[in-house]
Homo-oligomer: A and B are copies of this chain.
Amino acid sequence: MSGGDMAKPLLGHRSVEGDHSVAPTAGRTVGVLGSGDFARSLAIRLVCSGFKVVVGSRNPKRKAGLFPSAAEVTFQAEAVKKTDVIFVAVFREHYSTLCDLADVLAGKILVDVSNNTEINHHKESNAEYLASLFPACTVVKGFNVISAWTLQSGARDGNKQVLICSNNQEAKRIVAEIAQVMGFTPVDMGCMSSACEIENIPLRLLPAWKIPIFLALGLFLFFFTYNLVRQVIHPYIRGQKKFYKIPIEVVNTTLPCVAYIMLSLVYLPGVLAACSQLYYGTKYRRFPDWLDQWLRHRKQIGLLSFFCAALHAVYSLCLPMRRSHRYQLIETAVKQAMEKKTDVWVEEEVWRMEIYISVGIIALGLLSLLAITSLPSIANSLNWREFSFVQSTLGFIALLISTLHTLTYGWSRAFDENQYKFYLPPTYTLTLLVPCTVILARVIFSLPCIQQRLLRIRRGWEKGRYVKFVLPSATGEYSSGETSSNV
Contact = CB atoms under 8 A, between A and B. Distances in A.
A322 B201 CA distance: 51
Given A183-B185, A247-B359, A337-B337, 8 more contacts: A8-B47, A16-B50, A35-B460, A97-B468, A205-B389, A311-B365, A333-B337, A377-B377
Contact of A118 (B96, B284, B476): B476
15 contacts: A1-B154, A3-B48, A18-B24, A37-B484, A65-B286, A118-B472, A202-B384, A314-B364, A322-B350, A323-B346, A323-B354, A324-B353, A327-B345, A327-B350, A334-B342
A301 to B, nearest CB: 16
Contact of A334 (B18, B341, B361): B341
Given A36-B283, A148-B487, A389-B205, A380 B158 contact: yes
Contacts of A460: 34-36, 90-91, 94
B156 A381 contact: yes
A376 interface: yes
Contact of A9 (B48, B156, B246): B48
Contacts of A432: none
Interface stretch (A66-74, A395-403, A443-451): A66-74
A238 interface: no
A26 B16 contact: yes
Given A50-B12, A354-B322, A244 B336 contact: no
A118 B47 CA distance: 32
Contacts of A365: 307, 310-311
Contacts of A467: 93-94, 97
A486 to B, nearest CB: 8
A157 B158 CA distance: 7
A333 B322 contact: no
A318 B36 contact: no
A436 interface: no
Interface string A43-75: 010011111000000000011011011100000
Interface residues of A, number: 154
Main SS of the interface on chain A?
helix
A319 interface: yes
Contacts of A420: none
A471 B351 CA distance: 65
A326 interface: yes
Given A12-B49, A26-B12, A353 B322 contact: yes
A474 to B, nearest CB: 9
B326 A329 contact: yes
A316 interface: yes
A347 interface: yes
A91 B319 contact: no
A358 B7 contact: no
B327 A321 contact: no
A193 interface: no
A15 interface: yes
A15 B24 contact: yes
A216 interface: no
A480 interface: yes
Contacts of A337: 333-334, 337-338
5 A-B pairs with least C-beta separation: A158-B380, A12-B50, A149-B487, A12-B26, A117-B476
A28 to B, nearest CB: 9
A340 interface: yes
A349 B329 CA distance: 15
A353 B68 CA distance: 56
A477 B92 CA distance: 13
B202 A383 contact: yes
A364 B389 CA distance: 29
Contact of A317 (B44, B117, B317): B317
Contacts of A336: 330, 333-334
Given A15-B25, A66-B284, A344 B321 contact: no
Contacts of A50: 8-9, 11-13, 16, 188
B473 A118 contact: yes
A246 B351 CA distance: 10
Interface in A171-216: 181, 183, 185, 188, 201-206
Nearest to A371: B372
B147 A483 contact: yes
B159 A157 contact: no
Given A148-B487, A183-B9, A244-B354, A473 B117 contact: yes
